[in-house]
Every structure is written in C-alpha cells, then in structure tokens.
Structure 1
Amino acid sequence: MKGIIFTEFLEMVEERFGIEILDELTTHKGKGCPMSFTSVGNYPHQDLVGMVTVLSKRTGIDLNDLLTTFGRHLYSMFQKKFPHFLEHHTDPLDILEGIETVIHTEVRKLYPEARLPHFECERPDKDTLIMSYSSNRPFAGVADGLIHGCIESFGETVAVDRQDHEVESGSASTFTLKRTAS
C-alpha cells in the first residue's frame, strides 16, 4: 500500500487526537508497524489495520467510524494536493462516477504497481449514482468517507445508502447515492 496513505493517516491522528496518541501508534510493536513511514514507500495494509485497531481501542471510537473519518480526511488532502483531478467538475456525482475511469487511470500512470480498489458505476439518472466497491483490503469505510467528503465539498444534499457484502477477504460494498432537493 502506498506510503502517502500512511502519512496522511498519521497526520489525521495528530490533528484530531494529538501527539501523545500519535506516538502510541507509531511505537506500537504488537502489530509489527515500523516506527515511521514515507509517502513514497510501500507498506503492508495490515500495518494500517493495526494502527486503526489500536486507535479504536485507545479512543473507544468504532473502527468503521475511524475509517470513514479518515476517508473524509483523504478527500480534503486530494483537493489540496491534486486539484487538477477535481477543478473542472461542478457535480460530486460526476467526480465519483469517474474514480475508476479517470482518477485511478491517472494514479496507475504515476504508480503502476499500485493495487487500487475497484469501482463499477451505474448512473440510472442524473441525480442517482450506484457505486459497487471491491478491494482486497478491509477499507470500505475509507471509500464511504471519500464519498461523503466529496459530496460535502460541494455543499450538496445527497443521501448515501451503503450496503456491505460478505466476502472471503477484503471488502465489498454498494453505495447508492441519490441527490435530493436542497
């Protein structure tokens, strides 16, 4: 997993929970986590799972809620660091519909070895988007947060229904997004 995900997670932890908890996570030896991460490195996703698990136990916040919060944080980071992917869009559903075909295509050009989650999208009408998410990692909550972060950045009212599916490993979910009148 790309190091930028780890460095952003640690940044979020420091911002929201403080340096003391950040230190606990980066010195936690039980999960085999390295002491530090670089944004250009590659690390096992289990290291992130271990840190989120420790953070959940330490704060009493549900694991999925932490992953969703992290997804929102990631979206705000993408807005700041990669505005060229987002700047020409005026509709959050258009951005989300293009994750696989536009954004992931560009990410693969930069990082050919990246193992990204997969999104299949269906657009029954202009106000509805159905996103099928699958990943070999247990991070549907991060996708949920990214989706909500995108919608919130536009100030739109979009109902999001998430249905998780049982899979042998990783995660799979269907997100049905329906724009509602403001």
Structure 2
Amino acid sequence: MKGIIFTVFSDFVETNYGVDQLDDILDSCDLASGGAYTAVGTYDFSELQALFGALCKAQNMELSEALRLYGHHLAAAFVTQYPDFFQEVDDTFSLLKNIENHIHVEVRKLYPNAELPSFSHKHDESDRLTLIYSSPRKLGDLVVGLIEAASGYYKETIRIERKSPIDAPAESEHFYLTRLSNG
C-alpha cells in the first residue's frame, strides 16, 4: 500500500487521540517498517491491519467504526493534497464516477506499481448511483467514510446502503447511493 495511507493514519490518530496514543500504538505493533512511513513509500497491508487492530483495542472501538472515521480523515487529506479532483466536479456522484478513469489514472502515472482498489458504477437515475468497490483488502467501511465525507464537502445528503449480489465476487461490495438533498 502507498505510504500516504499510513501517514494519514498517523495524523488521524494524533489528531483524534493524541501523540501519546500514536506512540503507544506504534510501540505495540511489530512493524517491519518500524512505524516510520513516508507518503511515497510502499508498505505491506498487514501493517495497516496491525495499526487498526491496536487502535481499536486502545480505544475499545469496533474496526468498522475506526475505518469509517479514518475514511473521513483520509478524504479531508485528499481535499487538501489534491484539491483539483474535488474542484473539477460539482457533486459527490461526479467525484465517485471519476475515481477509476481519472483519479486512479493520475495516481498510476505517479506510482505505476500502486495496488489500487477498483471502482465502477451504474448510474441508475439522476439521484441514484450504484458504486461497486472491489479489493481483496475489503475496506468497505473506509469507503463509507470517504463517501460520507465527500457528500459533506459538496453539502449533499446521501443515503448509503451496502449489499452485494449473491453472484458478486467475494472482494466486491456494492454501495447503493441515493441523493436526498443537494448543496
């Protein structure tokens, strides 16, 4: 995984739980990297799993909630570091539809070996979108946080329903999105 995911995780913990909590989490995990991350580095997904496990234990929090909250923090970092992606579209659905064929294309130009999740979509109606997330990492809760944060950025209210068809691959998850209000 790209290091930005890890550096933003460190910032997330420090911002929300303090630098001492971050130090405790890093100390409690047996990390090949030693917990020293750079945004452009590449690190094993197992390190992120260990970090989230330690955070959840320390905060007595469910993993799904930790990932969702982290998704909000990650989205805010993306807005700060990559504002053009957010400013070139007018709403959450447009942003989500741009992930695979625009945003990830740009990411791959910078990091050709990046192992990115896949996002596809079906535009059901003007206020309905089906987003299909595929990744062996199964971070659907993080995706929920990203969607919630994006809808907040565009001042929209979006209902998120998660379910996957029985015939969907195990690493695939469907998000049925309904826009309830526009900003």
SS of the residue 1:180 aligns to: strand
Q: Name the CA distance, whole Å, in 1 between partners of 2:4 and 2:93.
A: 25
Residues 38-84 of structure 1, C-alpha deviations (whole Å, 9 max, x = no match): 11111001101101011101101110110111111111111111011
**Is 1:77 matched with 2:77?**
yes
Q: Which amino acid aligns with 1:9?
A: F
Assess if the C-alpha contact under 8 Å between 2:29 and 2:51 holds in 1.
Answer: no
Q: Name the CA distance, whole Å, in 2 between partners of 1:133 and 1:3.
A: 21
Q: Name the CA distance, whole Å, in 1 between partners of 2:4 and 2:59.
A: 24
**Is 1:156 matched with 2:156?**
yes
Which residue in 2 is equivalent to 1:64?
Answer: 64
Structure 2 spans left out of the alignment, 5+ residues: none
Residues 1:181 and 1:12: Cα distance change in structure 2 (over 3 Å): closer
Which residue in 2 is equivalent to 1:113?
Answer: 113
Assess if the C-alpha contact under 8 Å between 1:165 and 1:171 holds in 2.
Answer: no
- Given the two structures, how large is their TM-score scaled by the length of structure 2? 0.91
Assess if the C-alpha contact under 8 Å between 1:135 and 1:170 holds in 2.
Answer: no
Q: Name the CA distance, whole Å, in 1 between partners of 2:110 and 2:30.
A: 33
Q: Name the CA distance, whole Å, in 2 between partners of 1:53 and 1:129.
A: 32
Q: Name the CA distance, whole Å, in 1 between partners of 2:26 and 2:142.
A: 20
Which residue in 1 is equivalent to 2:41?
Answer: 41
SS of the residue 1:152 aligns to: helix
Structure 1 spans left out of the alignment, 5+ residues: none
Q: Name the CA distance, whole Å, in 2 between partners of 1:98 and 1:151.
A: 15
Structure 1 residue 170, shift from structure 2 partner: 7.8
Which residue in 2 is equivalent to 1:7?
Answer: 7
Which residue in 2 is equivalent to 1:180?
Answer: 180
Q: Name the CA distance, whole Å, in 2 between partners of 1:170 and 1:51.
A: 24
Which residue in 1 is equivalent to 2:55?
Answer: 55
Structure 1 residue 32, shift from structure 2 partner: 4.8
Assess if the C-alpha contact under 8 Å between 1:3 and 1:43 holds in 2.
Answer: yes
Q: Name the CA distance, whole Å, in 2 between partners of 1:49 and 1:77.
A: 20
Alignment of 1:93-104 (within 5 A): 93-104=93-104
Residues 69-106 of structure 1, C-alpha deviations (whole Å, 9 max, x = no match): 11111111111110111112111111111111111111
Which residue in 2 is equivalent to 1:141?
Answer: 141
Q: Name the CA distance, whole Å, in 2 between partners of 1:75 and 1:160.
A: 17
**Is 1:128 matched with 2:128?**
yes
Q: Name the CA distance, whole Å, in 2 between partners of 1:22 and 1:164.
A: 35
- Given the two structures, how large is their TM-score scaled by the length of structure 1? 0.92
Assess if the C-alpha contact under 8 Å between 1:139 and 1:171 holds in 2.
Answer: no
Percent identity among equivalent residues? 33
Residues 1:75 and 1:88: Cα distance change in structure 2 (over 3 Å): same
